[in-house]
Amino acid sequence: MRRLGVSAGFDFAGQDYWGINCAVEAYLETLARIAAERLGPGDPMAIALSDESDGFFTGKVVFVDDILHRPGDRQRFVPLLDAATDQLLREDVFTDYGRRWVATIVQSLRDRLAAPDPAESGD
């Protein structure tokens, strides 16, 4: 995908999911807030998301693998991502371009995160 403007993104399992800086930053802020509410502010995932949000800068790549340390973290993260997506869309944060990004790029990231983790299958 061609990156427009100044890009930031998420990286998961070596694949980049690019977006515009403000969209990625909005996701991080919302993810951090929801994680603190649902998991508690002392939860390692909530702390990692808060640190990523606090440390956001232009062009940042968020390495999602670094947030998902423990077995089951992917399954805990996907509902947070879904809740952040629902909230951001409900609040009409994105332009038409941003909504297309959510429907394609963020959905692709979500699908990859929701797929079974071979490392947790016991095979």
Mean confidence (pLDDT) of the chain: 92
User: What pLDDT is attached to residue 9?
Assistant: 97
Q: Which residue has the tokens 């969209």?
A: 23
Tens digits of residue pLDDT in 34-55: 999 999 999 999 999 999 999 9
User: What pLDDT is attached to residue 118?
Assistant: 67
User: What pLDDT is attached to residue 16?
Assistant: 96
Distances (CA, A) of 35 to 3, 45, 80, 95: 29, 7, 7, 25
User: H or E stretch including 111?
Assistant: helix 107-114
d(CA 52, CA 63): 9
What's the mean pLDDT in 17-36?
97
Confidence of residue 74 (pLDDT cuts 50, 70, 90): very high
Kindly tell me the sign of the dihedral angle through the C-alpha atoms of 86, 90, 92, 95.
positive
User: What pLDDT is attached to residue 120?
Assistant: 60
User: What pLDDT is attached to residue 82?
Assistant: 98
